[in-house]
Amino acid sequence: MVPGGRVGPVHPARRFSRTASAVAALGLTLLGACGGGPASPKGGIDTNPPPPVRPSLAGTYRPSGHAAAGDVFVHLFEWRWPDIASECETHLGPAGFKAVQVSPPEEHSITPNHDWSERYQPVSYSIDRSRSGTRAEFADMVNRCKAAGVDIYVDAVINHMTNFPSPGTGSNGTNYTKYEYPGLYTQADFHAPCTVSNYADAANVQDCELFGLPDLNTGSATVRQKIADYLLMLARLGVAGFRIDAAKHIQQVELDKIISLVNTTLTAEGRPLPYWFLEVSAGFGEALHPSDYFGEGYSSGGAADITEFIFKGVADKFTQKDGNQHLFQLNPNGSQGNQFSAAAWGMMPSDKAVVFLQNHDTQHELSNQCGLRYANPQVFRLANVWMLAEPYGYPSVLSSYAFSCDQVGITMGPPSDANGWTLPVSCASNLESATLGQWVCEHRDPYIESMVRFRREVAGTDINHWWDNGRDAIAFSRGAKGLVAINREATAVTATIATGLSAGTYCDILTGGRNGAACSGTSVTIDPAGALTLTLPSNSAIAILATSKL
Ligand SMILES: [Ca+2]
């Protein structure tokens, strides 16, 4: 608890419960509209003033190319810069991860309990000192990761500044209050205080304070330039991409102007344009949708993907939520209600979507029991195998630390010393053995790590030869390049399935793959007719590649 009786600082982490608030607000609106009888535009005087017109952004976009390339990135949540640099060299580069999303590097607030939401409360745009390390360490990380073939994506918190504590002193020693940040922003740079409370009203969502966080007036050219200068500083250090935190809370044309400032400046300097992806969730009855942001960066030559929150519903199939969710419903050509596709699920196009089974916000959602995570290790593995095996979107793997899914646990910061400085990473040896307060390192799990290679090798192919048992055992090929089979049943399943692969003996990459002329783990044989007979134990999977053939 903190002074004033609040339970910790408020933070976008809680934003997903707002969907319910938005629906509730909409419900009240509809009730009001219907209260006087049938709603009809005829003959009546509309006493509601039309909402003020807000500019919109054309939806034309160019794909980033990450989905088509079969790329995967990892979010090393709260990791220190030196540890990320080492991880790029020892694990991420060799495994083929395209990039690392790092925690926000700017100067952040210091809260009494050093909970993780500190990082989402900016105090200045200096990266001289955050709990992940110093500017020199950050620059070294960018260079070493790049040398290992791994890009760095920065989580850019540009919608707001800090509301707690106020007054306070940031991680680099800057003294501030909620609306005064020396040398950066004064009260005139913020929207007039109001509370984000009505998701049916775009102006309320974008120009008011998200959980009381002071909302930057991105309608101001000087504010936009200061934000752009921060991002440009990072790009000049070699940062290759940006996640825009709380993008739905920034007016879409104003955000496009910020992106354009960055893109055009970098173009003039002869530097590559960054990859952008925006945090925009969809919610029933909301004024703003992911499609309102499709055109971000287009006019300045860039590409911006968007987070597809609907995708995480895949986890419900693997946890067999409510007893009526099953893996066979992930068939891309399944019947109505039993099909996984962008159209069937109401998701954005594959070439626009960043997908995930969990992100740092959803993992901390108490209302959803923190989602499918390491604490349910084998099911978590199987779901990741599926996410990385099927072709939709640009997948992100969250790698974090162990915490208890309760009111206190979900606010807990990373392993730290008594002063709140993050401790070096020491990974649990596997998902099963991760103890509270220990780094889990989900991305090092052999199933997840090996599927990064799978996704890239099968890129450009579709799902074919889908097979399922009508419940929770499935298999499919990716062209002639790969095959996965997953059994989420409580018992072993034996089946003979058609495949897209040529005859021969293949090594399962999940259990070690090929080692010279032999398999390190499981092997399977495809007969001359292209059929595979296999027996999968309960809660297991195999994945084979044309390149894992003996
Ligand atoms: Ca805003």
Other residues' Cβ atoms within 10 Å of the Cβ of residue 393: 25
CA of 366 to the centre of ligand 1 (A): 25
CA of 120 to the centre of ligand 1 (A): 14
CA of 371 to the centre of ligand 1 (A): 28
State the catalytic residue, choosing from 87, 279, 442, 472: 279
39 has pLDDT over 60 = no
118 as an active site residue: the answer is no
Nearest to 198, CA basis, from 411, 24, 384, 355: 24
Cis preceding-peptide flag for 167 (omega within 30 of 0)? yes
- At residue 326, the pLDDT reads 98
CA of 280 to the centre of ligand 1 (A): 13
pLDDT tens-place string over residues 54-100? 999 999 999 999 999 999 999 999 999 999 999 999 999 999 999 99
d(C-alpha 175, C-alpha 171), whole Å: 10
| pLDDT grade for 53, boundaries at 50, 70 and 90 | confident
Domains of the chain: 66-163+219-457 (3.20.20.80), 463-548 (2.60.40.1180)
Nearest to 477, CA basis, from 523, 520, 518, 531: 531
d(C-alpha 68, C-alpha 302), whole Å: 17
User: Torsion angle, CA of 284/286/287/293, rounded to 10 degrees?
Assistant: -80
Cis preceding-peptide flag for 165 (omega within 30 of 0)? yes
pLDDT tens-place string over residues 282-329? 999 999 999 999 999 999 999 999 999 999 999 999 999 999 999 999
Looking at residue 280, its amino acid is V
Task: Determine the Cα angle at 124 with ends 119 and 130, to 5°.
Answer: 45
pLDDT tens-place string over residues 200-256? 999 999 999 999 999 999 999 999 999 999 999 999 999 999 999 999 999 999 999
> Which carries the bigger pLDDT value, residue 18 or residue 538?
538
- At residue 33, the pLDDT reads 27
CA of 56 to the centre of ligand 1 (A): 15
- At residue 116, the pLDDT reads 96
CA distances to 225, 248, 288, 289 from 281, in Å: 26, 8, 9, 7
Nearest to 178, CA basis, from 188, 168, 189, 191: 168
CA distances to 167, 189, 215 from 192, in Å: 19, 9, 8
> Which carries the bigger pLDDT value, residue 13 or residue 491?
491
177 has pLDDT over 60 = yes
CA of 196 to the centre of ligand 1 (A): 9
24 has pLDDT over 60 = no
30 has pLDDT over 60 = no
CB 399 within 8 A of CB 440: yes
CA of 542 to the centre of ligand 1 (A): 46
Task: Give me the percent of the chain exceeding a pLDDT of 90.
Answer: 90
Query: Three-state SS for 36?
Result: coil
CB 281 within 8 A of CB 83: no
- At residue 403, the pLDDT reads 96
Other residues' Cβ atoms within 10 Å of the Cβ of residue 464: 16
- At residue 51, the pLDDT reads 61
Phi first, then psi: give them for residue 199, nearest 5 degrees: -75, 0
CA of 191 to the centre of ligand 1 (A): 8
Cα radius of gyration (the chain): 24
Residues 6+ apart with CB under 8 A from 82: 133, 137, 140, 141, 424
436 has pLDDT over 70 = yes
Other residues' Cβ atoms within 10 Å of the Cβ of residue 62: 13
CA of 199 to the centre of ligand 1 (A): 13
Average pLDDT over residues 121-131: 98
468 has pLDDT over 60 = yes
CA of 214 to the centre of ligand 1 (A): 9
CA of 384 to the centre of ligand 1 (A): 34
CA of 248 to the centre of ligand 1 (A): 8
Other residues' Cβ atoms within 10 Å of the Cβ of residue 323: 6
What value does the mean pLDDT of the chain take?
A: 91
DSSP 297: T
- At residue 46, the pLDDT reads 52
CB 107 within 8 A of CB 128: yes
- At residue 7, the pLDDT reads 31
Nearest to 349, CA basis, from 283, 278, 389, 290: 290
Phi first, then psi: give them for residue 532, nearest 5 degrees: -125, 125
359 has pLDDT over 50 = yes
CA of 160 to the centre of ligand 1 (A): 7
Average pLDDT over residues 352-359: 98
- At residue 15, the pLDDT reads 38
279 as an active site residue: the answer is yes
40 has pLDDT over 50 = no
CA of 28 to the centre of ligand 1 (A): 24
Nearest to 155, CA basis, from 233, 77, 249: 77
Length of the chain equals 550
Query: Three-state SS for 439?
Result: strand
Query: Three-state SS for 73?
Result: strand
DSSP 102: E
CA of 246 to the centre of ligand 1 (A): 8
Q: In sequence order, what DSSP letters do the residues of 488-544 get, joined into one string?
A: -SSS-EEEEEE-SSPSEEEE-GGGT-EETTEESS-EEEE-TTSEEEEEE-TTEEEEE
State the catalytic residue, choosing from 78, 115, 118, 245: 245
- At residue 28, the pLDDT reads 26
Sheet with 531-536, strands from edge to edge, namely: 493-498, 531-536, 523-526, 504-507
CA of 153 to the centre of ligand 1 (A): 22
pTM confidence score: 0.91
- At residue 25, the pLDDT reads 26
d(C-alpha 513, C-alpha 451), whole Å: 11
CA of 225 to the centre of ligand 1 (A): 16
| pLDDT grade for 38, boundaries at 50, 70 and 90 | very low
32 has pLDDT over 80 = no
CA of 162 to the centre of ligand 1 (A): 13
CA of 450 to the centre of ligand 1 (A): 40
